[in-house]
Amino acid sequence: MSEHPGLEGRVALVTGASRGIGRAIALRLAAHGVALAVTASARSREGLRETCALIERAGGRAVLLVTDLAEEQARAGLVAQAAAQLGPVDIVVNNAATITAYAPPGKIDLPARRGMFEVNFQAPVDLIQQALPGMRTRGWGRILNISSEMAQQPPIPYPGPAKFVHALTLYGASKAALDRYTLGLAAELQGSGVQANALAPYKIARSESAEAVARQAALAHPDWVEPVEMMAEAAYLLIAGTLSGLVVKSREVLQMMQAPLHALDGWTVIGDATTLADFSAD
Ligand SMILES: NC(=O)c1ccc[n+]([C@@H]2O[C@H](COP(=O)([O-])OP(=O)(O)OC[C@H]3O[C@@H](n4cnc5c(N)ncnc54)[C@H](OP(=O)(O)O)[C@@H]3O)[C@@H](O)[C@H]2O)c1
């Protein structure tokens, strides 16, 4: 099925896999023989069905688990549910995230702060802690947390409206927390066979929800925008590889590993680390 074997028979849980980067990563892992449990909230039931259909059409195996990650009780049994259907979970990709609160940092209220951290930080940590005991026992596991360049304060002056940068402060803070947690976790897991990394797009990945931003950014900074295949490639390389404790950008992974960029079939070469999103065919 793939020119890069190594993950056949593994089981992965990918959150936020109803569209965008999560779907791309799920499809890419499936192309390498990984069985997929894909999750999103009930808002995205149709999208999840479509992800499963795409995986099955390509010869893979997938189940969907509808769960609102904002709800502590709802997410409590997620890894066990995946395992009940597919077998022990070897790979957790914490991709789901929310940017619901666009208020500036001086005004953002407590419910909004709690809501953002619940989905972007607490849920990933809970899912990791559900999966870790089994991973440790089996001596193999992969944790990939999807982050954002917004974890860092953008350089000054930022080439965009200040209110946009301010509005993304809380989102960035939740991703910074996830990055820091990833590094501490990787240190804890050293020598266990379980690896933890955080991966972000270089700047903007052309997912459905980032499409408008991607188009606008591409006018002035075409190098900012990458296809979702770039994140899927980097995710695959980290999961199939042996590195741990990285907080890294998609293109850096391809460069470090001198890897080409493949389509989501894991086979067709479509570019390299410098490949940018193509709007011309739209
Ligand atoms: N696209 C970019 O340019 C970009 C840049 C930097 C970082 N990222 C990161 O990359 C990841 C994916 O980005 P994307 O653009 O593909 O995002 P997206 O299109 O908005 O998809 C987000 C996914 O997460 C799910 N999700 C959100 N809240 C949820 C909740 N409470 N419970 C369960 N599922 C939930 C969504 O499904 P629902 O319909 O259920 O909400 C959806 O499946 C995110 O972590 C994002 O922060 C993206």
Quick: pLDDT tens for 144-159: 999 999 999 887 766 6
pLDDT over threshold 90, residue 239:
yes
Per-residue pLDDT band at 282 (split at 50, 70, 90): confident
CA dist., res. 183 & res. 87, Å (int) = 28
CA dist., res. 208 & res. 188, Å (int) = 36
- The fold adopted by the segment(s) 11-100+120-148+177-201+228-271 is Rossmann fold (3.40.50)
Give which of 130, 123, 89 is closest to 239, Cα–Cα: 89
Output DSSP code: residue 42.
G
Distance of CA 147 to the CA centre of its chain: 7
Domain ranges of the chain: 11-100+120-148+177-201+228-271
- Distances from the Cα of 238 to the Cαs of 124, 178, 271, in angstroms? 18, 17, 18
CA dist., res. 85 & res. 95, Å (int) = 21
Cβ of 127 below 6 Å from ligand 1: no
Q: Mean pLDDT throughout 252-267?
A: 97
Which of the pair, 108 or 1, is modelled with greater confidence? 108
Q: What is the pLDDT of residue 206?
A: 96
The dihedral built from the CA positions of residue 34, 147, 97 and 203, taken in this order, carries a sign that is negative
What number does the ligand 1 atom closest to the CA of 231 have? Answer: 10
Please state, rounded to an integer, the average pLDDT across all residues of the chain: 94
Q: What is the pLDDT of residue 165?
A: 76
- Tell how far the Cα of 95 is from the centroid of ligand 1, in angstroms: 6
- Distances from the Cα of 92 to the Cαs of 29, 83, 156, 233, in angstroms? 12, 12, 35, 16
Contact 214, 225 (CB under 8 A): yes
Q: Mean pLDDT throughout 69-88?
A: 98
Q: What is the pLDDT of residue 166?
A: 82
Opening angle at CA 67, ends 214 and 21, nearest 5: 25
Q: What is the pLDDT of residue 281?
A: 66
Cβ of 163 below 6 Å from ligand 1: no
Report the b/e string of 45-69 with b at 16+ CB within 10 A: eebbeebbebbeeeebbbbbbebbb
What residues contact 255, with CB distance under 8 A and at least 6 apart? 273
Q: Mean pLDDT throughout 116-138?
A: 98
Best mutation site among 126, 148, 250 for ligand 1, i.e. most ligand atoms within 8 A of its Cβ? 148
Distance of CA 173 to the CA centre of its chain: 17
pLDDT over threshold 60, residue 61:
yes
Q: What is the pLDDT of residue 159?
A: 67
Residues designated catalytic: 147, 171, 175
The pTM of the whole model exceeds 0.75 = yes
pLDDT over threshold 90, residue 160:
no
